[in-house]
Amino acid sequence: QKEVEQDPGPLSVPEGAIVSLNCTYSNSAFQYFMWYRQYSRKGPELLMYTYSSGNKEDGRFTAQVDKSSKYISLFIRDSQPSDSATYLCAMSGGQGAQKLVFGQGTRLTINP
């Protein structure tokens, strides 16, 4: 079993839709939860990070962490074609606190 599971998609939605992306994990030591966005032929860039459980909002993006269920989510409101990318969840914490463990990534396409 992988430490972090993420549905690879692909996911295709119309412009303006609400997008929900999620990951599950098995390591209860994880404390930091991140979402990265990766455009084709580019390196990942940090979108949001959350410490422990709770919600965090930044513009059209909302990250949720439920440590009791070992489940994290990213919501994108009013999705735009420019949001088309691969979204990677990543986690760290416990021993080796700075080591990131990534999910497989979900490929998202927003259709105009």
Binding site for another protein (CB under 8 A): 4, 6, 8, 32, 41-46, 49, 51, 88, 90, 92, 96-105
Q: Which amino acid is at 11?
A: L
Rounded to a whole number of angstroms, the minimum distance from the CB of residue 50 to another protein is 10
105 within 8 A of 21, measured Cβ to Cβ: no
Q: H or E stretch including 2?
A: none
- Owner of token pair 């760290």: 92
Rounded to a whole number of angstroms, the minimum distance from the CB of residue 102 to another protein is 3
50 within 8 A of 58, measured Cβ to Cβ: no
Select 3 or 78, whichever has its Cβ closest to another protein: 3
Select 15 or 45, whichever has its Cβ closest to another protein: 45
